[in-house]
């Protein structure tokens, strides 16, 4: 015979399973323990570092439960964007993204745009860096530019962005700033900065365009040197010159943010923005900004959506000005 106490327990479990949940019913707390974060390129790249930093802090500070991070690798970032768009209404999925996705969407002529998704928050901004291997003959950015101008057709520049992304556009704008035709730039695209590293170290490319966080370990180990950054001012705590220090009138900033699929409810969107706001307000996040050389660019919701649309218009205008039409 089953004891009455067990009958009561079984009955309670059945009631609980048939309801919206036994804890914080209706407050969405269960959602925060079933989240996933999509990364639109390979492990070790800028998006991957950002996504894993975000999720690690949110887990350790109990803002959420465990968040699964997975990488979607394709010919460019629009593969992941297409997947996010097709996940319409999924309340448990977020995706790290940024200027690279805006650029790739335009650059490859994708039918999907970041503005089609649900904008949650812009998190960071950072300059691009001109990076070389430790044994590179170039000791300054001036030396690299001189060699580049002498033979742009053979001077290979690498980046972890597809056509239109920040690591693609930065060398194009740098070329224009120093008197090289952007169409003459020999750009080699890699599926993320981690994939570019072997080419940089072996001299397959003469310099790379990257964020600082992507090669922080290699810079600290002396494998990679930074010739210049594209910030308006030198980064606090470093002696790395800016392009402006070398007389090159160019400031260029990349940025990262988070999207959700289209079609989620206003309540779910507000809940996701809330957890990203808690992340932003944490001391652990402030330390991560310092450690990675990221600037705080936090905006959320409709303001972020307007920013994305403005960036899409700017991307199209910039590509046209550089005479770099999208692929057809």
For residue range 127-167, list pLDDT tens digits in order: 999 999 999 999 999 999 999 999 999 999 999 887 888 89
The CA–CA distances, whole Å, from 40 to 37, 51, 81, 100, 104 equal: 10, 10, 7, 10, 11
Tokens encoding 122: 């812009």
Neighbours of 287 (CB within 10 A): 11
Average pLDDT over the chain reads: 88
One fold for both 35-125+253-322 and 126-246?
Answer: yes
pLDDT, position 323: 84
pLDDT at 1 over 70: no
Q: Which listed CATH number (3.40.190.150, 3.20.20.70, 3.40.50.620, 3.40.50.300) goes with 35-125+253-322?
A: 3.40.190.150
Report whether pLDDT(4) > 80. Answer: no
CB 95 within 8 A of CB 84: yes
Domain boundaries, the chain: 35-125+253-322, 126-246
Question: 74 or 84, which is more confident?
Answer: 84
pLDDT level of residue 32 (50, 70, 90 thresholds):
low
Sign for the CA dihedral angle at 78, 304, 215, 178 comes to positive
Instruction: Give the model's confidence band at 33: pLDDT under 50 very low, under 70 low, under 90 confident, else very high.
Output: low
297 pLDDT band, cuts 50/70/90, is very high
pLDDT of residue 7: 43
Q: What is the pLDDT of residue 285?
A: 98
Q: Which two tokens stand for residue 217?
A: 């370990």
Q: Residue 85: is its pLDDT beyond 90?
A: yes
Q: Please give the residue that has the higher pLDDT: either 293 or 114.
A: 114
Fold exhibited by the domain 126-246: D-Maltodextrin-Binding Protein; domain 2 (3.40.190)
Tell me, what's the pLDDT at 76?
79
Work out the number of other CB atoms within 10 angstroms of the CB of residue 236.
7
> Which residue would you say has higher pLDDT here, 143 or 5?
143
Q: State the pLDDT at residue 46.
A: 87
Tell me if 253 sits within 8 A of 126, measured CB to CB: yes
Q: Average pLDDT, stretch 64-69? A: 96
Give the single-character DSSP code of 224.
E
Facing residues of 186 across strands? 156
For the segment 7-23, the average pLDDT, to the nearest whole number, is: 37
């Amino acid at each position: 015979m089953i004891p009455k106490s067990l009958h009561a327990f079984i009955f309670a479990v059945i009631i609980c399973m048939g309801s919206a949940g036994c804890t914080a019913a209706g407050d969405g707390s269960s959602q925060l323990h079933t989240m996933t974060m999509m990364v639109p390129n390979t492990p070790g790249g800028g998006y991957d570092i950002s996504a894993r930093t975000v999720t690690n802090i949110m887990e350790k500070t109990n803002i959420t439960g465990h968040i699964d991070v997975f990488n979607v690798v394709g010919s460019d970032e629009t593969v992941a964007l297409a997947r996010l768009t097709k996940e319409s209404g999924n309340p448990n999925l977020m995706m790290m993204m940024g200027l690279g996705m805006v650029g790739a969407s335009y650059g490859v002529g994708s039918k999907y745009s970041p503005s089609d998704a649900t904008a949650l928050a812009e998190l960071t901004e950072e300059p691009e860096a001109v990076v070389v291997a430790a044994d590179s003959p170039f000791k300054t950015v001036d030396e690299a530019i001189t060699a580049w101008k002498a033979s742009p057709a053979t001077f290979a520049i690498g980046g972890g962005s597809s056509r239109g992304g920040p690591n693609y556009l930065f060398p194009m704008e740098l070329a224009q700033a120093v008197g090289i035709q952007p169409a003459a730039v020999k750009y080699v695209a890699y599926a993320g900065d981690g994939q570019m590293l072997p080419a940089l170290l072996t001299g397959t490319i003469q310099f790379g365009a990257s964020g600082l966080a992507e090669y922080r370990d290699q810079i600290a180990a002396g494998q990679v040197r930074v010739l210049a950054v594209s910030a308006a001012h030198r980064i606090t705590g470093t002696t790395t010159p800016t392009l402006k220090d070398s007389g090159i009138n160019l400031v260029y900033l990349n940025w990262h943010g988070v999207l959700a699929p289209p079609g989620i409810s206003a309540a779910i969107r507000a809940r996701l923005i809330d957890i990203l706001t808690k992340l932003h307000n944490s001391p652990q996040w402030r330390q991560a900004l310092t450690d990675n050389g990221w600037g705080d660019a936090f905006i959320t919701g409709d303001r972020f959506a307007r920013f994305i649309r403005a960036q899409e218009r700017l991307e199209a205008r910039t590509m046209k000005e550089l005479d770099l039409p999208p692929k057809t």
